[in-house]
Amino acid sequence: MLKIALNECRIVFKIKTEGPLLIKQDLDSESLEKRNILNDYMRFYNVRDKKDLPSIGFVRTMRNDRVVPYIPGSSLKGVIRSYAERIARTLKGTTDGTCNPFSKIEKDKQGRAKRSSIGDDLSCSDKFILRKEYIKEDLDSYKVYRDACPICKLFGCNFLKSRIEIPDGYSDYTSAPTYSNQFVRLPRRHGVGIDRFTSSAKSGVLFNYEVEEENKVFSFNDIFLTTFELWQLGLLGYIFDDFKDQIVKLGFGKSRGLGKVSGEIESISITYFGRYKPPDGKLMGVGKLINDNRYWHKDFMGTEEINLSHCPPIISNGFRHTYKFVTSEQKEALFGELKKLWSAEDDTGFINSVYTLPHEMSKDYFLENIPEDKLV
């Protein structure tokens, strides 16, 4: 399933700062010194005294001969994933719709798993470790995809590749002021350190940090999904709504009013390959295209084929067949339908009425099947 492309989706997504934003890079001089890069950073910021470096800088990278601030794709992916987890928990309770990636098995010195650490919310990665190493199950890629929680199915875990790739977000800094070495200059703010805010500034100590100011637009070209089920796009649709409504915050210092952003989809294209071309106006997920029950528990597949209103024509180019949704009418109709496949008001949708936690991923299954001498 992962080796051949059946469908893919590309989303051009823009994030606009609605207030100061800081995606953190720790510039604590002690740690820079340890890493042997203090002099480099003093040169970048054009300062002679290390005290004049910002305590916390904005992450930067080289682009078009300038060193520019950017939003790493991994930061955005982390935020989107935790929003997806929150949505799943809201709809399905704390353990049934998503695992908790931070919930890990604890072991004693002999490597026995502690019973108390095995809960229903255990991360999928650790559940698969229990199945593979403790129960000695033959765990193939079908079982892993079939049994992973909905959030890991989309964002991946140690046993499963992520379906979604999020590139770094860039903005236009061609006319922005720079220090002498093309290192883009950002405004600085001053604060009084609180340990929670920064590990580098001690409580009560003045420190300063860089921010990007409001109305800066960062473009993510493209957020990429491959071999997707339709409900996965529906789940993303809810998260994009939250971005639009400025509910999602990004980066550092959220409790201090930093990180307010809005997000908007500029365009979305959905491509099918070769013989998988759907009839005009129809959208199909991988569950419809692949027709292999080993990837899904019986009855655990969502609706994988829908008819769309306001659907643009499908354009074929060789073996690629693409819908491109550009107008707001097209985008709204698309996500309106897709969101219902994840969760609809009448209590239908994948998370409401299709998905349930497989028995093989439950606490009961582990406690029944792990041999006694491997448990403590």
DSSP string, 86-150: HHHHHHHHHHHS---TT----B-TT-PBPGGG--TT--HHHHHHIIIIIS-----HHHHHHHS-H
- Residues in contact with Zn ion by CB under 5 A are 99, 124, 149, 152
- Cα–Cα–Cα angle for 80, 83, 89, rounded to 5 degrees: 145
The residue (of 152 and 283) whose beta carbon lies closer to Zn ion is 152
The residue (of 35 and 104) whose beta carbon lies closer to Zn ion is 104
Please, what is the minimum distance in Å from the beta carbon of residue 137 to Zn ion? Answer: 17
The residue (of 32 and 157) whose beta carbon lies closer to Zn ion is 157
Please, what is the minimum distance in Å from the beta carbon of residue 162 to Zn ion? Answer: 12
The residue (of 155 and 335) whose beta carbon lies closer to Zn ion is 155
How far from each other are the two terminal CA atoms of the chain, in whole angstroms? 38
- Cα–Cα–Cα angle for 176, 180, 185, rounded to 5 degrees: 35
The residue (of 84 and 113) whose beta carbon lies closer to Zn ion is 84
The residue (of 125 and 271) whose beta carbon lies closer to Zn ion is 125
Please, what is the minimum distance in Å from the beta carbon of residue 337 to Zn ion? Answer: 26
Please, what is the minimum distance in Å from the beta carbon of residue 301 to Zn ion? Answer: 18
Dist CA 350 CA 341 (whole Å)? 6
The residue (of 124 and 301) whose beta carbon lies closer to Zn ion is 124
Q: What phi-psi label fits residue 217: left (phi over 0), alpha (psi between -120 and 50 degrees) or beta? A: beta
The residue (of 25 and 82) whose beta carbon lies closer to Zn ion is 82
Cα 179 to the center of its chain, rounded Å: 33
Check: CB of residue 312 under 8 Å from CB of residue 323.
Answer: yes
Please, what is the minimum distance in Å from the beta carbon of residue 181 to Zn ion? Answer: 44
What sign has the CA pseudo-torsion 122, 127, 130, 133? negative
Q: At what angle do helices 230-244 and 73-96 cross, to 10 degrees?
A: 110
What lies within 8 Å, CB to CB, of 359 at 6+ separation is 365
Q: At what angle do helices 230-244 and 328-342 cross, to 10 degrees?
A: 120
Dist CA 174 CA 153 (whole Å)? 39
Strand partners, 181: none
E-assigned strands of 163-287? 164-165, 188-192, 206-210, 217-226, 261-273, 282-284
Please, what is the minimum distance in Å from the beta carbon of residue 153 to Zn ion? Answer: 8
Please, what is the minimum distance in Å from the beta carbon of residue 68 to Zn ion? Answer: 35
Please, what is the minimum distance in Å from the beta carbon of residue 225 to Zn ion? Answer: 18
